[in-house]
Amino acid sequence: MLEARSIIKRFGGITVLNELSLSLSTGSVNCIIGPNGCGKTTLFNVLTGALKPEGGQVLFKGNDITGLPAWRIAGLGMTRKFQIPGVYPELSVAENLIVPLAAANRRAGLMATLFSKCDDRLAALLDLCGLTHKAEQAVSTLAHGEKQWLEIAMLLAVDADLILLDEPTAGMSVPETLKTAELVRRLRTEFGKTVLVIEHDMSFVRELDCHVIVMLRGRVVREGRLEDIQNDPEVIAAYLGGAAVC
């Protein structure tokens, strides 16, 4: 689905991504962990076209997308969630989902059925984010976690192949975090999506039970199951100067 080859990104004299390489297989859930400032968000910015790299190559579904503008990359099927929920607070939950559903229909050339074709998919998305009973409620009245889940469902509505989530559990309670892990797993199992998540919360990473990618100083230094990497000396040293990862 995605391959990053030797990506270099510098800000002034500082090299933030230092020949970073990674690849994501289609239909996989992947989680990037790494200490503050190691370049995780910068990587998302390069992958999605918000930043141009100084070196390297990004391949998405076999196409070279290096340096393409963000709107082109989004149109090719890569979508991203920021930490702060990007929802329309004055619209209802259902309306928030109908907007991206209609946009997807428009892209697919279904102009005559822009809204009428949304019904089945709307029900599935409301179920995914657990908000069927609040479909007509204004989004401004939702709890923080509910807004995050709604936005993930909105990403699904545009029918992207690759979904990038930047710290989706930030500010969530433990039950909300567990529910978010379940939702992200369903993106793969029920909808066949490829997912790449940045996350600091190790209980969430464990709950996701996915492929873990460890970043350190702008590179990928380890990959594998959480149970395999959590006792790695370099990974432990990267966190809190030696405290265990979990």
Ligand X SMILES: Nc1ncnc2c1ncn2[C@@H]1O[C@H](COP(=O)(O)OP(=O)(O)OP(=O)(O)O)[C@@H](O)[C@H]1O
Of 105 and 180, the one with the shorter C-beta distance to ligand X is: 180
- Tokens encoding 244: 């265990």
Of 147 and 219, the one with the shorter C-beta distance to ligand X is: 219
Q: Which of positions 2-21 make contact with ligand X (CB under 6 A)?
A: 11, 16
Site string for ligand X, 39-68 (x = CB under 6 A): xxxx--------------------------
Segment lying near ligand X (by CB under 6 A), choices 29-37, 93-101, 184-192, 223-231 = 29-37
Of 37 and 224, the one with the shorter C-beta distance to ligand X is: 37
- Tokens encoding 118: 């949304």
Of 11 and 71, the one with the shorter C-beta distance to ligand X is: 11
Q: Is residue 120 involved in binding ligand X (CB under 6 A)? A: no
Choose which of 24, 38, 139, 195 interacts with ligand X (CB under 6 A).
38
Q: How far is the CB of 199 from ligand X (least distance, A)?
A: 10
Half-sphere exposure of 197 (CA within 13 A, CB side): 31
Segment lying near ligand X (by CB under 6 A), choices 30-38, 100-108, 137-145, 203-211 = 30-38
Choose which of 21, 25, 37, 174 interacts with ligand X (CB under 6 A).
37
Segment lying near ligand X (by CB under 6 A), choices 33-41, 66-74, 97-105, 234-242 = 33-41
* Buried residues in 70-101 as b, exposed as e (16+ CB within 10 A): eeebbebbbbbbeeebebeeeebbbebbbebb
Interface positions with ligand X (CB under 6 A): 11, 16, 34, 36-42
